[in-house]
Amino acid sequence: MSPFTRITAVAAPLDMDNVDTDKLIPSRFFKKARGDGLQQYLLHDLRFDGDGRERADFVLNQAPYRAAKILVAGANFGCGSGREAAVYAVLDYGFSAVVAPSFGELYYGNMLQNGMLPVVLPEAACADLRRLLRERPGSCLEIDLETRSLTGPDGRRHVFDLAETARQRLLQGLDDIALILQHLPEIEAYESRMRADMPWRHRPPAGVS
């Protein structure tokens, strides 16, 4: 998992509340392997019509936003079932952060587990950011995780909250395994003590060499 410290990137406005995980990646694509490129299924039924053609009026199909790395959405983003593929699709599409007034609880946790940053800002602030992004297509947002701040296209600075444990994991690029391996010396020392103090626990069963 790559460290997340600061990003300045084009942002796209998604003027929708309650974008659930089935919208993010419809269930009929669940059998697709991540290696096949889950990004092609992101928001599939909003991006494409029944014949597989791009919908010209959908924001991610418009030239200024195709290179977006930050998504600014409505409330309750990622609600619904806890399918991790819905995070993979957003991440593989190229987004590093999603800004919204609120997130589905499971989705929020899955984002952090996969190195993505969920930024929670007040609903009015998110609506204002989406307005600015519509008025100034191709504008950038700057997100600084060190200072827990986001700067909009108008230069206004917004401060957001994130649990310190989650912030440190993102800053250092630590997934669950890497987090455990930080304590490897202590784990090995504990195992050595257990073998010395309770050797019978480590003997193979009778008849097993």
Q: What is the mean pLDDT of residues 134-138?
A: 97
Q: What does the alpha-carbon distance between residue 26 and residue 185 come to, in Å, rounded to a whole number?
A: 44
| Domain locations along the chain | 6-173
State the pTM of this model: 0.85
The pLDDT of residue 81: 87
Tell me the average pLDDT of the chain: 91
Give the residue-averaged pLDDT of 146-152.
Answer: 97
pLDDT-based confidence at residue 178 (cuts at 50, 70, 90): low
User: What is the rounded end-to-end Cα distance, in angstroms, of the chain?
Assistant: 40
Phi and psi dihedrals of 27, rounded to 5?
-60, -25
Predicted confidence (pLDDT) at residue 209 exceeds the cutoff of 60 = no
Least confident of 10-14, 128-132, 145-149, 193-197: 193-197
What is the spatial distance between Cα 140 and Cα 11, in angstroms, rounded to a whole number?
6
Q: Tens digits of per-residue pLDDT, 72-110?
A: 999 999 999 888 999 999 999 999 999 999 999 999 999
Which superfamily is assigned to 6-173 in CATH? Aconitase, domain 4 (3.20.19.10)
Q: Is the pLDDT of residue 208 over 60?
A: no
Residue type, position 148, single letter:
R
